[in-house]
C-alpha cells in the first residue's frame, strides 16, 4: 500500500486533535467521515474539505474507497465498531480505552489477527517525543536498571480556547452506566499504558485507595504496583484541584513521569499542561551530569499529529504499531485492578481480570451530579467575586 484512504468514525471533541495529522500526511487522504449527528458531520466536512459523509458506520465500512479507519466514537462503542471494521477488511486505529471490558478487548485483538489487518490503539503519549526519548534512554541503560516508576496526574482549571470549545454533550456517556468507571478509566488510561510501555514490563499485583470525587473524578487516588520483576515498583497519584489554575492550550490537566534507575533519574513534564517551566525531559546520570532535552517537541497537539502519521507510516512501511493492542489490554486490566484493589482493600493480580470492574458507588446518581454541579457553579461565582474585589 503506498497511499492510505482513511475513514473517520466519530467526529466529536477529540477528532479535532486526531484528524489534522491525517489531513497533513502526504501519503494519507481523509476519504470519508461518519457520525450520526448531521450538524457536526457537516461542519467538520466543511472545515476539513472532506466530500464523503456517512451517518451509519456500516455504510462507511461498505465503501471500497476506504483502506483504514480511525475509531473516535464513544468508548462503549469501540468493540462494536472495531469488530465491524475488521470484518470489512479495514485496518483499524482506535482511541483509548480499547474497550469497556477485557473480554471485548480480547475479541477485538483476535478478530484483527484472524483477518490479517493492522490494529493499534491510538495512544498519543507514545508519540510525545519526551516520553518516546525517555523510553529509548531506559532501553539504552542510561539510568541503569529501572527501580521505581512514578506517575502523577492533576486536574485543575484552565482558560484555553480548546477547553472552552469542547462540546459538553461529549461528556454524557462518560458519566453514566455506559462506562465502567470515571476519570481513572478514561484519561488515566494513558498513564496506565505509559506505566507498562516506558519500562517494557508487566504488572503482577496492585494495591490502591480510590476516593470518590466530584462529577466523574475519582480523586485523590494513590495506587502502588509490583511489576513482574522484584526490583521494580510503580506508584500513581491522581488529584483534583478545581481551584488551581493550570497553564494549558488544551485540557485543564497536567502530568509528570519519573523513572528512577540504579544509576540515574528521568523526568518528563508538560504533556497536556505547562505547570512547570522545566525542559520536557531531563536525564540525571550516575556521575551527577544533568542533560536537558529542551529541543524536543513538547506540544500536546503535536503528539496527536505524530500518532496519526505513525499509523499511516506503519501501513505504508510495515513497521510495528504503537500502542500494541496487547499492551492496551494490559492497561485496561491495570485500570480495573486499581478499582478492585480499592473496593476489596487487598492486592489484586490484574492478569486475572477478564470482564470489567467499577469503583464503589459508580455510576454517580442524578442527585450527586446535581450537587456537584451546584458546588462547581458556587465555586466559580466565589472566584469571580474575589477577582472583582478592588486590589484583587
Ligand atoms: N487524549 C486523548 O487521547 C483523548 C482525549 C479525549 C477523548 N479520547 C477518546 O476518544 C473517544 C471519543 O471521545 P470524545 O471526547 O471525542 O467524545 P465525543 O462524544 O465528543 O465524540 C464522539 C463522537 O462519536 C459520535 N458517535 C456516536 N455514535 C456513533 C456511531 N454509532 N457511529 C459513528 N459515530 C458515532 C458522536 O456523535 C460524537 O460526535 C473516546 O474513546 C475517548 O476516550 C481520547
Q: What is the pLDDT of residue 314?
A: 97
Kindly state if the Cβ of 167 falls inside 6 Å of ligand 1.
Answer: yes
Task: Please identify, by atom number, the ligand 1 atom nearest to the C-alpha of residue 57.
Answer: 32
- Mean pLDDT (whole number) for 278-299: 96
Q: What does the pLDDT read at residue 252?
A: 96
- Residue 1, pLDDT above cutoff 90: no
For the Cβ of 14 lying below 6 angstroms from any atom of ligand 1, the answer is yes
Residue 388: band (very low, low, confident or very high) from pLDDT cuts 50, 70, 90: confident
Q: Choose the residue to mutate in 73, 98, 127 for probing ligand 1, maximizing ligand atoms within 8 Å of C-beta.
A: 73
Q: Is the pLDDT of residue 392 over 80?
A: no
Contacts of 212 (CB under 8 A, 6+ apart): 218, 359, 360, 361, 364
Ligand 1 contact via 73 beta carbon (within 6 Å): yes
Dihedral Cα 384, 387, 388, 392, nearest 10 deg:
170
Q: How far apart are CA 86 and CA 111, in angstroms?
A: 7
Each residue of 76-116: pLDDT tens digit? 999 999 999 999 999 999 999 999 999 999 999 999 999 99
- Is the beta carbon of 59 within 6 A of some atom in ligand 1? no
| For the CA of 304, the nearest atom of ligand 1 | 3
Query: If pLDDT is split at 50, 70 and 90, which confidence band does 155 have?
Result: very high
Which residue carries 504503537 as its cell?
322
Q: 491510538: which residue's cell?
A: 122
| pLDDT one-digit tens code per residue, 221-230 | 999 999 999 9
Q: Would the pTM of this model clear 0.85, i.e. be above it?
A: yes
Is the CB–ligand 1 distance for residue 11 below 6 Å? Answer: yes
The preferred substitution site among 17, 35, 155, 189 for testing ligand 1, maximizing ligand atoms within 8 Å of CB, is 35
Q: Is the Cα dihedral 260, 266, 267, 268 positive or negative?
A: negative
- For ligand 1, the distance from its centroid to the CA atom of residue 123, given in whole angstroms, is 14
Is 90 exceeded by the pLDDT of residue 277? no
Return the best residue to mutate from 17, 74, 96, 168 for the ligand 1 pocket (most ligand atoms within 8 A of CB).
74
Q: Is the C-beta atom of 76 inside 6 A of ligand 1? A: no
Cα–ligand 1 centroid distance for 377 (angstroms)? 26
Res 161 pLDDT > 90: yes
Which of 33, 53, 72, 168 has the most ligand 1 atoms within 8 A of CB, as the residue to mutate?
Answer: 72
Nearest residue (CA) to ligand 1, atom 39: 12
| Cα gap 295→281, rounded to integer Å | 9
Cβ proximity of 354 and 348 under 8 Å = no
How far does residue 346's CA lie from ligand 1's centre (Å)?
34
Q: Residue 36 is placed in which grid cell?
A: 450520526
Q: Tell me if residue 97 falls in helix, strand or coil.
A: coil
Q: Where are the beta strands (DSSP E) in 23-83?
A: 28-34, 52-54, 68-71
pLDDT band at 380; cut points 50, 70, 90: confident
For the chain, domains (ranges, CATH) are: 4-122 (3.40.50.720), 126-300+331-352 (3.30.360.10)
Could you read off the pLDDT of 19-50 as tens digits, one per residue?
A: 999 999 999 999 999 999 999 999 999 999 99
Amino acid at each position: 500500500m503506498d497511499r492510505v484512504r482513511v475513514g473517520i468514525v466519530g467526529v466529536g471533541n477529540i477528532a479535532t486533535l486526531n484528524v489534522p495529522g491525517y489531513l497533513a500526511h502526504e501519503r494519507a487522504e481523509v476519504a470519508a467521515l461518519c457520525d450520526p449527528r448531521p450538524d457536526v458531520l457537516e461542519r467538520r466536512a466543511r472545515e476539513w474539505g472532506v466530500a464523503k459523509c456517512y451517518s451509519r458506520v456500516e455504510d462507511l465500512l461498505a465503501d471500497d474507497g476506504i483502506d483504514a479507519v480511525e475509531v473516535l466514537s464513544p468508548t462503549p462503542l469501540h468493540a462494536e465498531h472495531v469488530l465491524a471494521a475488521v470484518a470489512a477488511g479495514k485496518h483499524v486505529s482506535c482511541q483509548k480505552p480499547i474497550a469497556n471490558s477485557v473480554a471485548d478487548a480480547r475479541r477485538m485483538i483476535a478478530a484483527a489477527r484472524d483477518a490479517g489487518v493492522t490494529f493499534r490503539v491510538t495512544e498519543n503519549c507514545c508519540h510525545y517525543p519526551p516520553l518516546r526519548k525517555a523510553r529509548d534512554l531506559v532501553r539504552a541503560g542510561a539510568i541503569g536498571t529501572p527501580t521505581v516508576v512514578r506517575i502523577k496526574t492533576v486536574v485543575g482549571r484552565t482558560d484555553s480556547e480548546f477547553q472552552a470549545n469542547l462540546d459538553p454533550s461529549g461528556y454524557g456517556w462518560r458519566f453514566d452506566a455506559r462506562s465502567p468507571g470515571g476519570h481513572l478509566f478514561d484519561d488515566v488510561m494513558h498513564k496506565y499504558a505509559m506505566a507498562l510501555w516506558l519500562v517494557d514490563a508487566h504488572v503482577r499485583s496492585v494495591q490502591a485507595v480510590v476516593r470518590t470525587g466530584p462529577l466523574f473524578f475519582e480523586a485523590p487516588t494513590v495506587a502502588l504496583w509490583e511489576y513482574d520483576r522484584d526490583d521494580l515498583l510503580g506508584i500513581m497519584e491522581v488529584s483534583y484541584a478545581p481551584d488551581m489554575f493550570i497553564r494549558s492550550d488544551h485540557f485543564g490537566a497536567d502530568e509528570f513521569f519519573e523513572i528512577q534507575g540504579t544509576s540515574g533519574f528521568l523526568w518528563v513534564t508538560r504533556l497536556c499542561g505547562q505547570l512547570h517551566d522545566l525542559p520536557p525531559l531531563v536525564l540525571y546520570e550516575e556521575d551527577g551530569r544533568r542533560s536537558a532535552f529542551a529541543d524536543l517537541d513538547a506540544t500536546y497537539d503535536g503528539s496527536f499529529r505524530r500518532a496519526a502519521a505513525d499509523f499511516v507510516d506503519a501501513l505504508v512501511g510495515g513497521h510495528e504499531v504503537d500502542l500494541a493492542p496487547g499492551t492496551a489490554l494490559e492497561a485496561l486490566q491495570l485500570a480495573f485492578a486499581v478499582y478492585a484493589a480499592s473496593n476489596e482493600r487487598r492486592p489484586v493480580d490484574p492478569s486475572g481480570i477478564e470482564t470489567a470492574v467499577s469503583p464503589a458507588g459508580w455510576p454517580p446518581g442524578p442527585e450527586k451530579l446535581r450537587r456537584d454541579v451546584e458546588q462547581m457553579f458556587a465555586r466559580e461565582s466565589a472566584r469571580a467575586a474575589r477577582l472583582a474585589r478592588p486590589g484583587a
